[in-house]
Every structure is written in structure tokens, then in C-alpha cells.
Amino acid sequence: MGIPKNRPNSVYLSFTHSKDQRNYLIYKINRINEELGTRGSVSLPRSTYDCRTNKYYISCQAMVTNPALKELYSLFYIEGEKRFTKKVLNLMNLEALAVFWMDDGNVGKTTSAVNKGILNLYRPLNEAKLVCEWIEHLTNVKAYPYRDGSSYRIRINRSLMPRFISKIRPFVHNSMEKKVTLYFSHYNTKSKQEYESSLNIPLRE
């Protein structure tokens, strides 16, 4: 999110996703268009350079520009820096959490982290705690901040992931099903039963 140099009274939203996530990006832009009456669109896949990794990737990009976004910008950005505050989080519902998860969340697959939920927040501890409280308010699922370098990510225990998934699944696009997929052995545990029940909840198309 930023302010265009030649349009100081407007604000833009820009997104970059991998080629494999193009269908999800189209869905996300369409939802923004529905809410704001904008006409954002998604580019065809193309090679783009990432200065952070010094590599080229095949990705898709999208941008939406609208004066209506200026009020949102003033809420999310304080002195030009994005911050998560209670005022901002109170405006966001389960659909917002689902989009947040599709963008920055994932399910652990390694032996030590299998089925744990990980939200790549990378914010200061005070903001991470606020996001954890917001998640619990919306889903009745306890989330925990954990340190990663100089910032914090968020973790959800594997035993609580079936409940978390059941809450956000109605708003998850079908192309991002992997974001709400857990892995169980043949043992018929309570968590496995709860997760299998959530599979009856249809994904968004």
C-alpha cells in the first residue's frame, strides 16, 4: 500500500504472487473490486527480479488505485510505517483472517512441526500479541508469538489447528487448499476426526 507520486489524493494496493497462485490473486482482486467498486486486474505471468534474493521469478502482479483507500492507509500506516493496532484489527473479520492466512500462513510439514500453524507475521512483540488476541477472538483458538531473529511470527498448536481451519475454511479459495490441509496417520484421534469434519465445509470458487 502506498501513495502514487502523481496522484497524492489517492492510494494504491499492489500484490505480487507466484505463477502458481495466479487464480488466488484473481479471486483476491475480484473481492477488492466488489467491495470498492474498483477495476483492478491481474497481469499474465512474467519474469520479475527480486532484489532481496538476487533472483528472477515467474510471478503475477496486480494493482488497485482508489481515493477510498486513503482512509485505510491512515489507519494502517502511522508516520509512514505499517502497524497492527487494536483499532485496525477490530475492523477485520474471519474473511480478512482467511486472506491473511492464504497470504502469509502455512501448515508445518517437518517432523517436529507437522500440523502446526505458522503465520509469518514478522512484526514486533507488542503487535504479534495483538494479532494473537485477534485470532483468538475470531476463532476461539489460542495463538502464540515466537521470536525469529529481531521480530516475531505466530504459531498455533497442532491440536488446535482443526478448529482454526474449520473457522477460516469457508473463506479460503479452492486454489489454496494446501493452506488448510493437515496430515494424519491412520490412528483415529480426536484431532483427526475434527479435521475430517471440516472437510465437509466447501471452499470458495
**CATH tag for 83-205 (out of 3.30.1280.10, 3.40.50.720, 3.40.50.300, 3.10.28.10):** 3.10.28.10
pLDDT at 36: 83
Taking the C-alpha atoms of residue 37 and residue 144, their distance in angstroms, rounded to an integer, is: 37
Predicted TM-score (pTM) of the model is: 0.87
CA 166 to chain centre: 16
- Residues of the chain scoring pLDDT < 50: none
Nearest to 28 by CA among 62, 65, 67: 62
pLDDT at 103: 94
CA 161 to chain centre: 16
Domain ranges for the chain: 1-78, 83-205
Model confidence over 115-169: pLDDT tens digits? 999 999 999 999 999 999 999 999 999 999 999 999 999 999 999 999 999 999 9
Phi, psi of 67 (to 5 degrees): -60, -25
Q: Write the CATH number of the domain with boundaries 1-78.
A: 3.30.1370
Fold agreement between 1-78 and 83-205:
no
pLDDT at 65: 83
pLDDT at 142: 97
pLDDT at 72: 81
DSSP state, residue 35? H
Q: Which three cell numbers stand for residue 53?
A: 534474493
